[in-house]
Chains A and B, each alone.
Chain A
Amino acid sequence: MQDPAPLITDAHDRVRDHYRPAIGRARDELTTPALLLDLETLRANLSLMEAGMRDVPTALRAHVKVHKSPHIARMEVEHGAVGVGCATVWEAIVMARAGISDVFVINEVVGPEKTRALALLAREADVKAAVDDAAQVAELSAAAVTAGSTIGVLIDVDEGMHRCGVASSEEALPLARRIADAPGLRFMGLTGYEGHCSLEFDETRRHAMAREAMGLLTGIATDLTGEGLPSQIVSAAGTGTWAVTSRYPGVTEIQPGSYATMDGHHRGLDPRFGWAVTVLATVISRRPDRVVLDAGSKTVGASHGVLKEPDLEKYRFDEEHSIFVADDRTPLTTGDKVEILCNYTPFAIGYFEAYHVLEEGRVVDIWPVMPRGPESRWLLDMLERGD
């Protein structure tokens, strides 16, 4: 792994500058709301995944969309990940500049500036993207030829999630041929995320669904091999299905992300991983029948959350407030700090600028969230300037 580039170290310096007074302080002394990352739990999660991967024939590709942290991504690589998965081309640029050479945008990249960004990035890293349509292949090929680079391409397979992706060998074959023939592109194989399984909390049913999905994915890979188009990579899985998918014959790598930071949804699927990321909030109003916290939907995100302790029933989430039912037996008073366990952490992380990184209850560092938000066109400008 290369050292992080100035893009990353400058961002780290900037957030350390913004939140410097917090460094060295205890949790209860922080200004809220704050996004907390418990380093010990994070390390334990990464070690658990690393140990699990020793016994299976597949490789780990860590998905970074969940945490958007160059620091966590580097730790994932140090714990055995061969590379990272990204949801956007902007995430891919950040992770390549964080020092990770194998970056896969597990998504369709459409639009002239996004494809140009991907093609320019392919000059400095092993860059891969997913496609499910001939128009995307043509656009990626033209961008790679213009940039003088080569982009690895995987066909996105709809294994039952019903989002993007082709659903049959009949659809995959002409697309694979087109990729193999397109200048500037290299056909690398298939990718399929069985995300629909992660909405099924019964483990037996979920595992059966995952096996069915892998049957479809690897069946298409076999058909393509029969036509002279072997898949070097067959990539799948999330935190809810990795245990099954990582052992499925024909799958070469898994692409989970939530295992690192975790949240309520994924704890319901795989409770072996600990809750490393929480949102710290302050009780700003104490009424006889409720407590009001200074973290609402614009902090915790669409899926809301529960309190780490005490166990209180949710009353309502407003934009800047969450409200929990609490009578006078609950000892919380105005000014008290509580941690919110997000039901789905990525929504919260997407709102924040930085993590407060804790060890033994004290802030030891501030890590940037990068890239922040949906738009990051300036990263393309950076690549075009050759910086």
Chain B
Amino acid sequence: MRDPAPIITDAHERVREFYGSAIGRSKYEVVTPALVIDRDLLVANLAYMQSRLPELHARLRGHVKNHKSPHVARLQLEHGAFGLCAATVWEAIVMVRAGADEVLIANQLVNPAKRRAAALLAREANVTVNVDDVDDATALSAAAVAAGTTLGILVEVDTGMHRAGVDSPEEALTVARAVQALPGLRMDGLSGYEGHTSLEMDHDKRHEKQAAAMRYFVEVADHLEAHGVPCPILSAAGTATAFWTGANPRITELQLGSYAAMDDYHFLMEPRFKKATTAVVTVISRRRDRVVLDLGKKTFGSAEVGSIAAHPRIFGHESLKPYRFDEEHATYEADESCSLKVGDVVDFHLGYTPFAVNYFDAYHVVEDRTVVDIWPIMPRGPLHGGLLQLLEAGH
């Protein structure tokens, strides 16, 4: 792993400047709402995953979309991950500049600027991209040729999630052959995230769906290989299916991400990983029958994943029933038997962490409740924040 580049160290310095007065203080003394990551729990999660890797056939490619943190990504690489996985090309740029040599953008790029960014990034690292369309592959090839680079390509297979991805072994073969024939592209294999299984809370049903998805995925690979298209990489899995998919002898790499920072949603499915990411919040109003906190949906995001409740809750007061979540407020039913009062600073379960992380500027990193560092969230939000110009200017 290379050292972090200036865009990472500068961002780190900037957030330390913005929020550094919290360092050395108790997490209950910081300005709320604040996003908190417990370093010990984070490292414990990473170490647990690393300890399980020897028994799995597949390698670990740590996904970063959940945490958007160059610091967490580096820790993933130090704990057994051979490379990283990103949802956007902007995340990929950040993670390569954080020091990663190997990154998969497990998504279609399509926009000309995004294709160009991926092609330019391939000058600095091994960059792999998902495709499910011959036209997209052709345009990626042109971008790579223009940049003088080679992009690795995984043909995305819809293994039951019904998002992107080819629908049949025959379609996979058509796209794969097109990729093989295009300059600047290297046909590396298949990508088949079984994300629909992470919406199935029942353990046994989830396992059945996972097994069916991977059976189909391997069939597609068999079809390609029988027609002379080798698939050295078969990439799949999320935190809720990692140990099942990782034990499949045909799957070569796992692209899970939530295992590192975790949240309540994933904890319901995989309690061996601990909730390292939480928030601290303040009670700003106390009425006879309710308490009101200074965070709402513009802080923790959605209270649901699909149609499944993600359970944003107050630590130590988990039984309080949500009354309503507004933009800047979370209101819970609480009669006088609840001890909370105006000014109390409490820990908060965020429900589904990625929605919250994307609203924040930085993590308050704590050890034993004391803030020890501030880590930037990069890239923040859906825009590129100048990353494209950075690559185009050759910086």
Contacts and interface: CB of A to CB of B under 8 A. Distances in A.
B163 A133 contact: no
Closest 9 CB pairs of A and B: A285-B164, A302-B302, A378-B18, A164-B285, A18-B386, A284-B108, A31-B113, A108-B284, A299-B382
23 contacts: A18-B386, A20-B389, A31-B114, A33-B383, A108-B292, A108-B342, A110-B283, A135-B341, A156-B285, A158-B287, A163-B285, A163-B329, A164-B329, A284-B107, A287-B165, A287-B167, A319-B355, A334-B110, A334-B136, A335-B136, A350-B298, A375-B31, A377-B19
Contacts of A346: 298, 327
Contacts of B108: 284-285, 292, 294, 334
A270 B303 CA distance: 27
Kindly name the residue among B110, B354, B384, B388 whose own CB sees the greatest number of chain A CB atoms within 10 A.
B110
Contacts of B295: 374
A164 B284 contact: yes
Chain A CB within 10 Å, residue with most, of B158, B285, B329: B285
B306 interface: yes
A297 B301 contact: yes
Interface stretch (A3-11, A46-54, A244-252, A351-359): A351-359
Interface in A337-363: 346-347, 350-354
A136 B292 CA distance: 14
Given A290-B162, A375-B362, A377-B18, 20 more contacts: A21-B389, A31-B113, A31-B114, A31-B384, A110-B284, A133-B285, A158-B287, A162-B331, A165-B285, A283-B110, A285-B165, A315-B162, A316-B162, A318-B195, A346-B298, A347-B327, A350-B298, A372-B381, A375-B31, A377-B31
A156 B329 CA distance: 14
B355 A298 contact: yes
B21 A284 contact: no
A286 interface: yes
B383 A347 contact: no
B323 interface: yes
Nearest to B161: A318
A246 to B, nearest CB: 23
A378 B298 contact: no
Nearest to A107: B328
B10 to A, nearest CB: 14
Interface string B163-175: 1110100000000
Interface string B335-369: 00000011101000000001100111110000000
A108 B109 CA distance: 44
Interface string B279-322: 00011111100101011011101111010000000000000000
A34 interface: yes
State the main secondary structure of chain B at its contact with A. loop
B218 to A, nearest CB: 21
A347 B326 contact: no
Which of B109, B133, B158 is most buried by chain A, counting CB atoms within 10 A of its CB?
B133
B249 to A, nearest CB: 29
A331 interface: no
Nearest to B114: A31
B298 A374 contact: yes
A96 B45 CA distance: 44
B302 to A, nearest CB: 4
Given A33-B382, A297-B301, A372-B361, A110 B294 contact: yes
A303 to B, nearest CB: 8
Interface of B: 17-19, 21-22, 31-35, 65, 87-88, 107-114, 132-133, 135-136, 158, 162-165, 167, 195, 282-287, 290, 292, 294-295, 297-299, 301-304, 306, 323-324, 326-329, 331, 341-343, 345, 354-355, 358-362, 380-386, 388-389
A172 to B, nearest CB: 14
B383 A163 contact: no
Nearest to A290: B162
A107 B284 contact: yes
B132 to A, nearest CB: 5
A354 B328 contact: no
B163 A323 contact: yes
Contact of A351 (B33, B287, B331, B382): B382
A307 interface: no
Contact of B31 (A114, A320, A354): A114
Nearest to A336: B110
A285 B108 CA distance: 7
A280 to B, nearest CB: 10
Given A33-B382, A163-B292, A334-B136, A111 B343 contact: yes
Contacts of A179: none
A351 B323 CA distance: 25
Nearest to B289: A162
A282 interface: yes
A320 B389 contact: no
Given A351-B381, A374-B299, A375-B31, A195 B326 contact: yes
A376 B359 CA distance: 12
B104 to A, nearest CB: 14
Contacts of B110: 282-284, 294, 334-335
A326 B123 CA distance: 38
A191 to B, nearest CB: 13
A65 interface: yes
B302 A297 contact: yes
A17 interface: yes
A238 to B, nearest CB: 12
A110 B291 CA distance: 14
Contacts of A286: 133
Contact of B355 (A87, A164, A297): A297
Contact of B385 (A18, A113, A297): A18
A323 B361 CA distance: 28
A126 to B, nearest CB: 22
Interface in A258-287: 282-287
